[in-house]
Amino acid sequence: MINNLLIVEDVAEAREWLTRIAQDAFPNAAISTVQTIAGALAKADELNWDMALIDLGLPDGSGLDVIRRIRKLSPDTICVVTTVLGEDAHIVAALSAGAQGYLLKGQPSTLIQRQLVQLQQGMPALSPTIARRIMEHFQRTGPIDGETKKLTTRELEVLTLVARGLRNADVALALGLAETTIATHIKTIYRKLGISTRAEAALHANRLGLT
Amino acid sequence: MLVVLLGLSTLAAASALFVAVNQPWLGVVLSPGDDGSVVISRVHRTDFEPNLSAGGRLDAIGSENTGSMGVSALDIVEEPDTLNTYDAINAFRARQSALSIIQNQSRVWLDVTSASGDAHRVHVAPFLARPAWSLPFEFWLQLFVGCGGMVLGGWVWILRRREAGPFYLAISGLGLMASALSAAIYGTRELSLPEELLTVLSSINHAGTSSFGAAIICLLAVYPKRIASDRQLIVIWVTTALATGASIGQLLASPSIGIYTLMVAQFIAIGALIAVQLFLSQRNPVARAALGWFGLSILAGTSVFVFAIATPLLIGLEPQASQASAFGVILLIYAGLALGVARYRLFDLGTWAFRLGSYFVGAILLVGLDAFFIYGVAVERVPAFGIALLTVGLVYLPIRNAIGAQLNYSPNLTRQDFPQLVEIALERAPERQIAQWRGLLTESLNPLTIEIVDTVSKAALIEDGQGLLIPGHLNLPSLRLQFANGGRRLFSQRDVDHVQNLVDLITHALKSSDAREQGVRQERTRIARDLHDNIGAQLLRTLHTADLPRKDAIISETLADLRDIISNAQGNGMALDEVLAELRYETDERLALAGLQLRWHYAGAADLGISARLAHTLRSVVRECASNTIRHAQATELSIEICEVNGEIDLVVSDDGKGFDETDAKPGRGLNNIYSRILGAGGSLSITGTNGTRIGARFCLAEGEVA
């Protein structure tokens, strides 16, 4: 259940629009809105949010910092990136910072509402483009220390199908698995993405002689 | 002119050959023995009696009409002018006359003592003429020197006929020819020449040598800088003529005073003039370089003397120098003079002078060390030479190279040049670019002046290395640099190579910079066009749409397009399969919301690139069709088939809905848009409404990339 939800968004119209959608998706939730990173960080310290919709490009900084703070303070919070253009690189960065999903603000309200509900039910959304970026990311990262950072064969299969444009339900059908299993795989991929990104950073630091 | 010159010298050579050949011929080669006797060193004829063979001694020659006459080494002396007194010379001439008369008889006898000591009288019939092949190497060498001097001097004069220097060079060439050709005839006679001929040849030789010296003096008096008036030059000629005449007329105390005093005086005068000219040309790099050739040629000539005389002496052989060899050396010197006057490659002289000079020093060192080891340390000859060679190789050559690197310092591309070149190439303001380029050139060559000139295609030397032309490129003008290193030296071929390197590099850098800028411009143009065609057109549509949901739909499409344009601008490009995957996902989500099934089929090559414009078209068509199906068709399933064959996309969108009445000629606004898009992309479109709606579109992939 989503009892409290934070919206970090600097454009007033978008803020109101998102608030309406969130209200429709979660009628019982208490919704707070902030316009700045500073405000969002303060809100993050205030209480453990069930869900946060965070815009990446804000006037006083990057939404990535907000995601990191929230994930650190309350790991159970579902962080969702909301963005207009959603440049691939930023989205992968956001996901590896701990975001569990992203929403393109250009999409129809009904679609966004549906995705929010699915996220709350533990079925993270993953678009084909992002699936591709994630695969590329893991290929680049390569096999580094420990098995946990590598994708399993099954996870790779899921990513590949998603990258071809199949929805979770279709992926489940194609692989003969339950849709919830697919969701679990995607969540694992997200988690590994975060780990592998940290490992990659560590690796870079090591190469540069910083550690 | 050149033809006349060549003709004249050939004629002179032919005359000399004619005179030399038209003498009676015994068919032997005579050389002086150790004890003043005459030795038969070779025999040219095969019809002799066996008693006459090489190695024997010729004691006397005689005939029926004249009687016998003894022969001595004095009779075959190469240069009679070396005799001490006029009496000796006149006696020599008288004997030559007598010998010549004997040689002219149809039958003569030779009194020969063979190597074993037996005396024989051998009868020989002299040939009327001497075959040309029997003439010794010395004859041909002097013939070559004579003609070579004439041609060289004459040629330079033809090239620079208005100048006094080349004129005197040509005169000296004439003198050299007269001297060398006459000496060639009498110096290589078999045994004798008629007295009159001998006297004439000797006089010609004498006059030629003197005028050669006088002409060189005059040359140095007017070149590179005139330091004597014509009147003074006439005095020189008159003095020379008087001295020569007195010598020929045997009016002086002895022949050596007449011949060698004049020669020494001339040498001293030449040396003094070179010194004066060097002093005067301190501020004139071209003149200095020309004088450099003079000095170099004299050095080269001297070094030949070292090898011809000093070296054989030290390794235990007789000196190989004769008057003929001396002429060879003179030609060398003379060629150097000619080069100096012709101002040929003066700019590279420094390098050559150092090379030749250093080899010369090396050779002297080698010979000196060898002598030191043999006579000073008493080492055997062969090991001594080895030690000397080793010492020169290990000690002298490295020093020589080090000095050479110092002397031949020339601008090379340095580490600092590269950032400077790149800066120049990236400088956008033309004036600053030119100023920086000139700065770089000034830094590396330090010229006195830099002027802008008309187009130059390659770096080149002008005015004997006083100037250097530098080609330009685009904004950079072609330049002319004058007087390298503040006028202290000439531009050299190395400078040309260096500058050409710089120009090539800067041209390359400028071209790269241009290409980059052009790339940036093209990219900007492409982005602008994409923005105009897609975003602009869609926003316009939005503006004129009253239908609110439709407005929203178009705006969300526009955002997707904007995303494409940005991702394209970041250089990621767009892959067809990626665009299709996104489209499939999005369509599937929309249909699922409306409770419809999607059947998706794609067949075609992987890794196809696609332009933003085409991606937009593809997306618009699929979205429009899906919207129509969702809104109007009452269908349960939408099928999308995309085939890519040979760069053509075949798109079929069909549903299982109610279709539409094909006779109703009022297509919706959406379909209208699809229509214009496909046609705009150069494609074709077909729509049927029976058994559900079926829309087929076909367009070319490449079109979007070209446009």
* ipTM of this predicted structure: 0.76
Q: Are B445 and B491 in contact (CB under 8 A)?
A: yes
Contacts of B593 in chain A (CB under 8 A): 110-111, 114
Are B296 and B356 found together in one domain? no
**Alpha-carbon distance B90 to B92, whole Å?**
5
Is the CB of A108 less than 8 angstroms away from the CB of B577? no
Is the CB of A85 less than 8 angstroms away from the CB of B590? no
**Alpha-carbon distance B394 to B398, whole Å?**
7
> Is residue B687 pLDDT above 70, yes or no?
yes
Are B3 and B91 found together in one domain? no
Q: What is the pLDDT of residues A150-161, one digit of tens each?
A: 778 888 888 888
pTM, rounded to two decimals:
0.52
Among residues 30-69 of chain B, which lie with CB inside 8 Å of chain A? Answer: none
Q: What is the pLDDT of residues B170-198, one digit of tens each?
A: 898 899 899 989 999 998 898 899 999 99
Question: Does A170 touch chain B if contact means CB atoms closer than 8 Å?
Answer: yes
**Average pLDDT, integer, range B682-696:** 84
Are B227 and B317 found together in one domain? yes
Q: What is the pLDDT of residues B539-582, one digit of tens each?
A: 887 887 778 877 887 888 788 778 777 777 665 567 888 888 88
Mean pLDDT score across all residues of chain B: 82
Are B152 and B229 found together in one domain? yes
**Alpha-carbon distance A171 to A162, whole Å?**
7
* Domain final residue pick, B314, B344, B374: B344
Neighbours of B470 (CB within 10 A): 24
Q: What is the pLDDT of residues B120-138, one digit of tens each?
A: 888 888 988 999 888 988 8
Structure tokens at B121: 């009288």
Closest CA to B599 of B632, B627, B641, B635: B641
- Gap from B561 CA to chain A (nearest CA, Å): 10
Residues 6 or more apart from B321 whose CB is under 8 A from it?
Answer: B305, B308, B309
Q: Closest residue of A to B577, CA-based?
A: A164
Identify the pLDDT of residue A52.
93
> Is residue A64 pLDDT above 60, yes or no?
yes
| DSSP per-residue letters across A75-122 | TT-EEEEEESS--HHHHHHHHHHT--EEEETTS-HHHHHHHHHHHHTT
Question: Does A23 touch chain B if contact means CB atoms closer than 8 Å?
Answer: no
Q: Are B130 and B23 in contact (CB under 8 A)?
A: yes
At A205, the pLDDT band (50, 70, 90 cuts) reads: low
Are B148 and B293 found together in one domain? yes
Question: Do the domain assignments include residue B542?
Answer: no
Provide the 3-class DSSP secondary structure of residue B460. Answer: strand
Structure tokens at B691: 């058994």
DSSP B486: G
* Domain final residue pick, B371, B387, B409: B409
Q: Which residue has the higher pLDDT, B598 or B313?
A: B598
* Domain final residue pick, B306, B321, B344: B344
**Average pLDDT, integer, range B38-50:** 83
- Gap from A162 CA to chain B (nearest CA, Å): 8
Q: Which residue has the higher pLDDT, B363 or B244?
A: B244
Are B354 and B319 found together in one domain? no
B391 vs B268, B362, B386, B399, CA distance in Å? 37, 11, 9, 12
Q: Quote the percentage of chain A above a pLDDT of 70.
A: 85
Q: What is the CATH number of the domain that holds B92?
A: 2.30.42.10
> Is residue B705 pLDDT above 60, yes or no?
no
Identify the pLDDT of residue B704.
44
> Is residue B46 pLDDT above 70, yes or no?
yes
Q: What is the pLDDT of residues B352-402, one digit of tens each?
A: 667 767 777 787 788 778 878 877 777 777 788 888 888 888 888 888 888
Is the CB of A88 less than 8 angstroms away from the CB of B583? no
At A163, the pLDDT band (50, 70, 90 cuts) reads: confident
Identify the pLDDT of residue B398.
86
Are B95 and B11 found together in one domain? no
Is the CB of B552 less than 8 angstroms away from the CB of A114? no
C-alpha gyration radius of chain B: 48
**Average pLDDT, integer, range A45-73:** 88
**Average pLDDT, integer, range B209-235:** 88
**Average pLDDT, integer, range A57-68:** 86
> Is residue B204 pLDDT above 90, yes or no?
yes
Are B492 and B628 found together in one domain? no
- Gap from B538 CA to chain A (nearest CA, Å): 14
**Alpha-carbon distance B665 to B679, whole Å?**
19
Question: Do the domain assignments include residue B521?
Answer: no
Are B440 and B302 found together in one domain? no
Interface test with B, best of A11, A91, A104, A158 (most B CBs within 10 A): A104
Are B79 and B11 found together in one domain? no
In this complex, how many residue pairs, one in chain A and one in chain B, have their CB atoms less than 8 Å apart?
A: 63
Question: Do the domain assignments include residue B596?
Answer: yes
Q: Are B601 and B641 in contact (CB under 8 A)?
A: yes
Interface test with B, best of A13, A17, A20, A87 (most B CBs within 10 A): A87
Sheet containing strand A78-83, strands side by side: A30-34, A4-8, A51-55, A78-83, A101-104
The reply to whether omega before A108 is within 30° of 0 (cis) is no
Structure tokens at B685: 């479109």
> Is residue B707 pLDDT above 50, yes or no?
no
Are B660 and B617 found together in one domain? yes
Structurally, chain B folds into a number of domains equal to 5
Mean pLDDT score across all residues of chain A: 82
Question: Do the domain assignments include residue B172?
Answer: yes
Is the CB of A129 less than 8 angstroms away from the CB of B577? no
- Supply the range of the domain harboring residue B159: 1-22+140-191+198-344
> Is residue B668 pLDDT above 70, yes or no?
no
Q: Quote the percentage of chain B above a pLDDT of 70.
A: 90
> Is residue B30 pLDDT above 60, yes or no?
yes
Is the CB of A127 less than 8 angstroms away from the CB of B582? yes
> Is residue B495 pLDDT above 50, yes or no?
yes
| CB nearest to A165's CB, from B581, B590, B592 | B581
| DSSP per-residue letters across B234-258 | HHHHHHHHHHHHHHHTT-SS-HHII
Question: Do the domain assignments include residue B359?
Answer: yes
Question: Does B585 touch chain A if contact means CB atoms closer than 8 Å?
Answer: yes
| CB nearest to A127's CB, from B567, B585, B600 | B585
Identify the pLDDT of residue B314.
53
Domains (range + CATH), chain A: 4-120 (3.40.50.2300), 128-207 (1.10.10.10)
Q: Which residue has the higher pLDDT, A51 or B54?
A: A51
Q: Which residue has the higher pLDDT, B14 or B416?
A: B14
Are B444 and B360 found together in one domain? no
